[in-house]
Amino acid sequence: MSRIIRFASLAVFSVAVYAQAIHAAEVQVAVAANFTAPAKDIAAQFEKDTGHKATLSFGSTGQFYAQIGQGAPFEIFLAADDTTPAKLEKENHTVAGSRFTYAIGALVLWSEKTGFVDDKGEVLKTDKFAHLSIADPEKAPYGKAAVETLTKLGLNDALQAKIVKGNNISQAHQFISTGNAELGFVALSQVYKDGKITSGSAWIVPANLYEPIRQDAVILAKGKDNAAASAFIDYLKGPKAGAVIESYGYRK
């Protein structure tokens, strides 16, 4: 009898797994570069919990905007701002009513060198560095926030000759991590995990020095009939994704 029960249980389990596989789908997600690490964590957990697969592409919000307008096959867009998804919405490239703020980002002045950046950012007023890395403010919201910060501090004009611009926030971070720039402004999520800076030294820029970096997600028109797209957005709004997002220094 016990053998029959075991076989029956195995059969039920097999049917459940098969049913999940039948209903599993894949969704193409364009992700702003600053959200790379949390997006990878969320996508892995999403696949484990739902069976759906999220295929992630990373880049600058401005570049993705241009690609989506030209028909790129993305079905969800996790932007680094709220204005770009709103523009896509007005241009009828999105599913109506799907846009929402999934994270509020933070800016940090960071150096790979321990003890190089002080806790008030006073290093910006010294001659200790030759290069200051930022993301291109025309393409990346974190680059725009960096310029706003320097302007508020009265340092934007004085530091122009030292500024090196990355195409996106990942490249800005790379300039610093490889030593091509002694310091720079990056997303807090790139150097922060579970309540602490992961390497080097940093100054978390006060939020009153730049406009809030509200990051919006939206289902794009190509994802309208994809069950995995709706499932991913629902998952992004849920507690598991929320915990991951906050662990990287974002606010919800």
How far is Cα 94 from Cα 98, in angstroms, rounded to an integer?
8
Q: Give residues with Cβ within 8 angstroms of 204, minimum separation 6.
A: 106, 107, 108, 188
- Report residue 134 as tokens: 């930022």
Residue extent(s) of CATH 3.40.190.10 domains in the chain: 21-104+214-247, 105-209
- Rounded to 5 degrees, φ, ψ at 141 are -55, -35
* Edge-to-edge strands, sheet with 213-219: 53-59, 26-32, 76-78, 213-219, 100-105
User: What's the mean pLDDT in 213-224?
Assistant: 98
Place of tokens 């932007």: 79
Q: Tell me: the pLDDT tens digits for 58-86?
A: 998 989 999 999 999 999 999 999 999 99
How far is Cα 85 from Cα 69, in angstroms, rounded to an integer?
12
CATH of domain 105-209: 3.40.190.10
Q: Tell me: the pLDDT tens digits for 142-173?
A: 999 999 999 999 999 999 999 999 999 999 99
Place of tokens 């940093």: 202
- Report residue 213 as tokens: 């970096």
Place of tokens 């599913």: 95
Q: What is the pLDDT of residue 24?
A: 84
User: What's the mean pLDDT in 5-9?
Assistant: 47
Fold topology of 21-104+214-247: D-Maltodextrin-Binding Protein; domain 2 (3.40.190)
